[in-house]
A and B are shown apart, each in its own frame.
Chain A
């Protein structure tokens, strides 16, 4: 289930600013309250795919350690996609909430 929403999760993790792959994984972990603990490598194909789709841009930078590092950022198209997917998710989540709430009321 988590994999089906990976694009939304990655876009959301990058909504606060550009980040490299490891920072994206850390942001996902911390912002989900450690609930989403993905195999770390899975993030990179997702980042590459979103970049191919024009939702992310990336560039090489040099980290403090001196290592080359690829930093990803949301593009304008990526921000729009995130807003759209967030709206869809909120509608879906609210509908499921209503459904489960009604079910609970019916039982009680």
Chain B
């Protein structure tokens, strides 16, 4: 193996372990290659041994990749938690705006549908507050924490936040489904007009926002095995 191949193989061995985030992987590969070439250029000889020494001085690829993975997990945990808070706030705003619009437009429920409406409304409220509780719990869990010392600890923290966020997303799905039912109940017996587009657009926006968070959770869940692979199995169980 020639020295450029040693450097490229070493950089690839770190970058390959970070392929759960292609942009991080590319960046690390370029930085490692630049570092090793710079290191080689300052040595008297540029042979095979110098390249091997340079890679040895750089450190263990597995340990370095685990450190990058720890930071990646910390960043994703924070982002996921912040996204959940923003989602809850956005849904609250949309729900309040829709209720205000119902008041202005005087779109009340028919007397015979009122009992159903009240029951669905109660489920809506409890589901929404369950979501708020989970999101606040996730935020409080992270509040004040620095990046965990090990990848295993960060993995556990990430899993806890993903669980809390998933429960809050499920609760929000129930809440939005109730909103769809309540909107449908208000539309029953009315002629379709442009006015009806306002509540329909609002529930569509709620569904779309939840969909974005669901996609984010799924994307993280698919990349999770690559990051946990960087941690020794016994370390993760501890």
Which of A's residues lie within 8 Å of B, judged by CB?
A: 20-22, 39-42, 44-45, 48-49, 52, 63, 65, 67-70
| Minimum distance in angstroms from B47 CB to a CB of chain A | 19
CB < 8 Å neighbour of A22 from B39, B59, B147: B39
Is B68 located at the chain interface by the 8 A CB criterion? yes
- Given the known A-B contacts A48-B71, A65-B41, A70-B27, are A41 and B58 also in contact in the complex, defined by CB atoms under 8 Å? yes
Question: In the bound complex, how far is the Cα of B31 from the Cα of A68, in angstroms?
Answer: 8
Number of B residues whose C-beta is below 8 Å from A?
Answer: 24
Is B28 located at the chain interface by the 8 A CB criterion? yes
What sequence of 0s and 1s flags, for each residue 134-153 of chain B, a beta carbon within 8 Å of any chain A beta carbon?
Answer: 00000000000001000000
Taking a contact as CB atoms under 8 Å apart, the answer to whether B37 and A67 are in contact is yes
| Minimum distance in angstroms from B41 CB to a CB of chain A | 7
Taking a contact as CB atoms under 8 Å apart, the answer to whether B35 and A22 are in contact is yes
What sequence of 0s and 1s flags, for each residue 61-73 of chain B, a beta carbon within 8 Å of any chain A beta carbon?
Answer: 0001001101100
* Cβ contacts under 8 Å, B115 to chain A: none
Question: In the bound complex, how far is the Cα of B37 from the Cα of A68, in angstroms?
Answer: 11
Question: In the bound complex, how far is the Cα of B158 from the Cα of A28, in angstroms?
Answer: 33
Question: In the bound complex, how far is the Cα of B68 from the Cα of A49, in angstroms?
Answer: 9
Is B38 located at the chain interface by the 8 A CB criterion? yes
What sequence of 0s and 1s flags, for each residue 35-49 of chain B, a beta carbon within 8 Å of any chain A beta carbon?
Answer: 101110100000000
Is B110 located at the chain interface by the 8 A CB criterion? no
Of chain A, the residue at the smallest CB distance from B63 is A41
Question: In the bound complex, how far is the Cα of B64 from the Cα of A21, in angstroms?
Answer: 14
* Cβ contacts under 8 Å, A39 to chain B: 57-59
* Cβ contacts under 8 Å, B14 to chain A: 41
Taking a contact as CB atoms under 8 Å apart, the answer to whether B64 and A44 are in contact is yes
Q: What are 24 A-B contacts with C-beta separation under 8 Å?
A: A20-B34, A20-B35, A20-B38, A21-B31, A22-B38, A39-B57, A40-B39, A41-B32, A42-B59, A42-B64, A44-B28, A44-B32, A44-B35, A45-B64, A45-B70, A49-B71, A49-B147, A52-B75, A65-B41, A67-B34, A68-B34, A70-B30, A70-B31, A70-B34
| Minimum distance in angstroms from A107 CB to a CB of chain B | 38
Which of B's residues lie within 8 Å of A, judged by CB?
A: 14, 27-28, 30-35, 37-39, 41, 57-59, 64, 67-68, 70-71, 74-75, 147
Question: In the bound complex, how far is the Cα of B68 from the Cα of A40, in angstroms?
Answer: 15
Question: In the bound complex, how far is the Cα of B59 from the Cα of A70, in angstroms?
Answer: 19
- Given the known A-B contacts A44-B64, A70-B30, are A21 and B75 also in contact in the complex, defined by CB atoms under 8 Å? no
Question: In the bound complex, how far is the Cα of B32 from the Cα of A12, in angstroms?
Answer: 22
* Cβ contacts under 8 Å, A20 to chain B: 34-35, 38
Question: In the bound complex, how far is the Cα of B94 from the Cα of A52, in angstroms?
Answer: 32
Question: In the bound complex, how far is the Cα of B31 from the Cα of A52, in angstroms?
Answer: 17
The 4 closest A-B pairs by CB, nearest first: A41-B59, A45-B67, A39-B59, A41-B58
Taking a contact as CB atoms under 8 Å apart, the answer to whether B35 and A40 are in contact is yes
* Cβ contacts under 8 Å, A63 to chain B: 34, 38
Question: In the bound complex, how far is the Cα of B37 from the Cα of A20, in angstroms?
Answer: 13
Of chain B, the residue at the smallest CB distance from A60 is B30
